Structure 1
Amino acid sequence: MGNDTPPIIIWTTQRTGGTNLARHLLALSPYKVKHEPFNKPREFGHITTDWIKRQDIVATEAEIEATLSDPINIKHCVEMVPKEINACLAKHAVRHDYLNLFLVRENALQRLLSMEYAQRTKVWGPNHEKPDEDNDPAFEASLDIEKLVEHEKKCVMRLNKLWNFLHTAGARVHALSFEQVYESSFEAAVAQVSATISFLGYNLQRTRAEDRIRGLRETGNQDTRDRYQKFEGIGTLDTALKTVPDFAFLR
């Protein structure tokens, strides 16, 4: 595989398995992988900070154009930056012929509970020390239903809009869900992830692809999901999430 392989952007949200997916699949690429580099504390965070301060779209476009002109792979959480950064990134992804992989989580409730738990405990991955299960402070406050539902709506609407823009512009787009990777049968996961591997331009023998998919499914679980039922307000949140639009591109 030569360096004529297109670079890749994973468009996703927090708690969707994107870091694990990037670690296993983008490692096959000749380009470096940047995890959420436009977040304010990260490598290209100054672009986001400059936009927030100056609202200078010409300068922001120029900075993102320069950033993408040197091919890199990016995992990008669309809710973590202003929508204008997403729009500029998508525009120049088209210009530089990036592949666009959309990774979503169909079960909004589980994603939001995972996100809420991580924010409250700072446990963002399997290597972080978890609070003692019997004295876990994450469940002291009730869930903020309105805030969580609005957050999910924003995420879905942003991803739908980005997909529509990229698809209309003729960019190469592909969708995959957390559930297809991690919660389906192994055979179904092999079919879905193999299609994604082909989309990304990797030519793996079936045994190598299966090994990579097996590794993908076996790593990344921080083993906290069984605690989420302790949150107060889960039923109300689950009902309220029925008002959130669907991912228009997933099916």
Structure 2
Amino acid sequence: MSFPYIIWTMQRTGGTTLATLLAELSEHPGVQHEPFNQDRKFGHVVTHWQDQEKLRSELEEALAARPVIKHCHELMPHVLNATLMEVSIALGYRHIVLERGAEVDRILSLELAKITGAWGSDQAKRIYRRIEAGDIEVEPIDIPRALAHMRLCAERRAVLEGLFDAHGQSPYRVRFEDVYTDPAAGRGLVEDLLGFLGIDYAARGDFDALVTEALLKKGQNSVRVADAVPNYAEARLRLTDALEGGPATAL
């Protein structure tokens, strides 16, 4: 039997397709992506984050069937992430860290989703067409908010690494670009990841079709509407300088 797993990631990392593929190949039950978000299956668990005993009890109940989970950890209180890791380790979970190498692109994609309302591919197709046609005027990016969120994400990465170290965990680390830039290399990485999870993909007659579809599936391509954003170039410069420690880090 394979291991249940948690994918520890952040918003707009581009991992929905990978998470969907892994869930399809795992014999463990799946739930909505990011199930601890307020409006999703385990959203009620987060309301108890100030009550450690209640939080642990709710998490043990939520994970009792050992569902596979994609979790955006930067959105959640530290105590929930810490308790989630403890409970999942006790239940035999393995851990995957999914990152996106282009951090500035990730933050800009998140800001574009916030100002356009295009969070999913179907929304993007509909809304981007209207933006390109001039039917929708896009608001400027809130640069101080974007910079603050990028700093928060850097802090949360460090905290997550501290949790792994404290619990002696060695997660499987994968970058979105490494999976999707080169389909052949991406397939090898997916197979290696499945081995880490103990998933016997050779037993699936539809494995080739599933992987091919996943690796060739394109994202929302949010940058296509960048020219419609009044301060997109300025936002990219400020974020890039902040990431590199340059002069534009001041708010």
Aligned to 2:239: 237
Would the alpha carbon gap of residues 43 and 207 (structure 1) be closer, same or farther in structure 2, given more than 3 Å must change? closer
Measured in 2, the distance between the counterparts of 1:209 and 1:156 equals 36
Post-superposition shift, 1:168?
4.0
Amino acid at match of 1:64: L
Who is 2:249 aligned against?
none
Question: Which residue of 166, 169, 183 corresponds with 2:167?
Answer: 169
Task: Kindly indicate whether the alpha-carbon contact (under 8 Å) linking 1:40 and 1:48 is maintained by their aligned counterparts in 2.
Answer: yes
Please tell me whether the aligned partners of residues 115 and 139 of structure 2 are also in contact (alpha carbons under 8 angstroms): no
Q: Quote how far apart the aligned CAs of 1:32 are.
A: 1.9
Q: 1:6 to 1:136 in 2, by over 3 A?
A: farther
Bigger drift between 235-244 and 111-120 goes to 235-244
Please give the TM-score of this superposition, normalised by the length of structure 2.
0.84
Tell me the secondary structure at the aligned position of residue 43 of structure 1: coil
- Residue 40 of structure 1: which of 32, 38, 43 is its match? 38
Measured against aligned partners, the alpha-carbon deviations of 1:86-140 in whole angstroms (never above 9, x if no partner) come to: 1111111111110111111110111111111112222122222224214264643
Contact 1:9 1:73 in 2 (8 A): yes
Q: For residue 71 of structure 1, what is the aligned residue in structure 2?
A: 66
- Which secondary structure does the structure 1 equivalent of 2:69 belong to? strand
Q: Quick one: which of 136, 148, 151 aligns to 1:150? A: 148
- In structure 2, the CA distance between the partners of 1:130 and 1:95, relative to structure 1 (3 Å rule), is same
Offset from partner CA, 1:34-89 (integer Å, 9 cap, x none): 211111111111111233xxx21121122112222221111100122212111111
**Match of 1:88, SS?**
helix
User: Aligned in 2, Cα 1:239/1:123: closer, same or farther, shift over 3 Å?
Assistant: same
**Partner residue of 1:31 out of 3, 28, 37:** 28
Paired with 2:71 and 2:22, the residues of 1 have a C-alpha distance of 15
Match of 1:113 in 2: 108
For the pair 1:16 / 2:6, whether they are aligned, the reply is no
SS in 2 for 1:84: helix
Contact 1:15 1:115 survives alignment (8 Å): yes
Match status 1:186 vs 2:188: no
Q: Distance in 1 between matches of 2:113 and 2:137?
A: 9
CA distance in 1, matches of 2:122, 2:89: 36
Please give the TM-score of this superposition, normalised by the length of structure 1. 0.84
Write the distance in 2 (CA, Å) between the matches of 1:225 and 1:136. 18
Distance 1:49 1:218, change over 3 A: same
1:196 aligns with 2:198: no
**Does the CA-based 8 Å contact 1:10-1:18 persist in structure 2?**
no
1:138 and 1:178, CA in 2 relative to 1: closer, same or farther beyond 3 A?
farther
User: Are the counterparts in 1 of residues 186 and 215 from structure 2 also a CA contact under 8 Å?
Assistant: no
In terms of mean alpha carbon deviation, does 20-29 or 200-209 score higher?
A: 200-209
Q: What 5-or-longer segments of structure 2 have no aligned partner?
A: 247-251
Distance in 2 between residues matched to 1:198 and 1:105, nearest whole Å: 22
Residue 213 of structure 2 is matched in structure 1 by 215
Q: Report the Cα distance in structure 1 between the residues aligned to 2:109 and 2:137, rounded to whole angstroms.
A: 11
CA displacement at 1:217 relative to structure 2: 2.3
Q: Could you tell me how far apart the structure 1 residues matched to 2:218 and 2:61 are?
A: 33
Could you tell me whether the CA contact under 8 Å between 1:98 and 1:171 is conserved in 2?
no
In structure 1, what is the equivalent of residue 94 of structure 2?
99
Deviates more, 1:63-72 or 1:131-140: 131-140
Structure 2 counterpart of 1:235, one-letter code? L
Check the 8 A contact 1:78/1:155 in 2, yes or no. Answer: no
Contact 1:117 1:138 in 2 (8 A): no
Q: Percent identity?
A: 32
SS of 1:130's equivalent? helix
**1:33: Cα distance to partner?**
1.7
The count of residues paired between Structure 1 and Structure 2 equals 236
